[in-house]
Amino acid sequence: MRYVLFIILLISTKGFSQCKTFIIGVKGDTLNCVDMNGKKQGRWVVEKPPLRGEKGYEEQGVFINDKKEGQWQQFTLDGDLLAIENYRWGNKNGRCMYYNPFGQPVREESWKAVNPDNPYDTVDIYGINDPTKVVRRQVMKLEGFTLRHGTWKFFDPDFGTIIRTEQYRLDKLVVAGQVEDELAPIDISTGNKAKSDTTGKKSIAKPKEVTEYEKKNAGKKKVKTRTGETGHTPNP
C-alpha cells in the first residue's frame, strides 16, 4: 500500500511540476494550469464576474497550448446551463447550443474553424438547377478564423419550437433560389430569334426631308411626293 501511495505521489508531483501555477479542484484534480512557457494547459474553470450591467457567468473546458479545444460549457453564477460550445484551434467549430436561464434552447449555431497552419480546404460546389447536388469539389483558401457553416436554428424560448432556420455555406447565407455557383445560368429568353430576321429584305430609309414633310402633312389629303426615283429601269 505504501508503494502504491508513493507511485501516486510521484505521478502527482510530476504533473504539478509541468505547471508554473495551478489550483486543485474539489475532486482533487489539477485545474487552471499555466505551463513554464506561460500557456494555459489542461482543464480550466473560468469565472467572469458581472460587468457594466452584463450578467456574470462561469465556463469550463480544456486548453491546449493556450487555445480552447473540444467542448466548453457555460453556466450562470447560480449553476444553470447557458451554452455548450465546441472549439478547434481556439475557435468555434461544429454545433453550439445556447439556452435561457430556464433551460429552454434559444439558438443552435453551426461553425467551421479554420486551421491557421493550413487555411485551405476542399469544398463542395453545388449545381445550378439542383442546389442539393454536388457537381464538383474545389480547393480554396478560407478567410477568417471561424466561419458560419451549416444550419442555424432559432427557438421559441417559451415552447422550445423552431421559429426560424438559416443555412450558411462558408460564412455566406444561402438564400432559396439563389445561384451559388460561379457559373450563372445563361439567359436564353432572347436567344431564339431566327437569323433570317437580320438577313431578309432590308427597308430603304427615307430621306430626312421626306420624313419631316410626311410628319407635317399627316392627316391631310394625300399628296403625292417625289422621293427622287424616276421609275425608269435602265437596260443592262
Query: Which residues does 32 contact at the CB level (< 8 Å), separation at least 6?
Result: 21, 22, 23, 40, 44, 45, 46
70 or 176, which is more confident? Answer: 70
Give 195-218 pLDDT, tens digit per residue. Answer: 444 444 445 566 666 667 677 666
Query: Which residues does 207 contact at the CB level (< 8 Å), separation at least 6?
Result: 227, 228
- 45 torsion bin: left (phi>0), alpha (psi -120 to 50), beta (else): beta
Give 117-170 pLDDT, tens digit per residue. Answer: 888 877 777 776 776 788 888 787 878 889 999 999 999 988 889 999 999 988
Residue length of the chain: 236
Predicted TM-score (pTM) above 0.75:
no
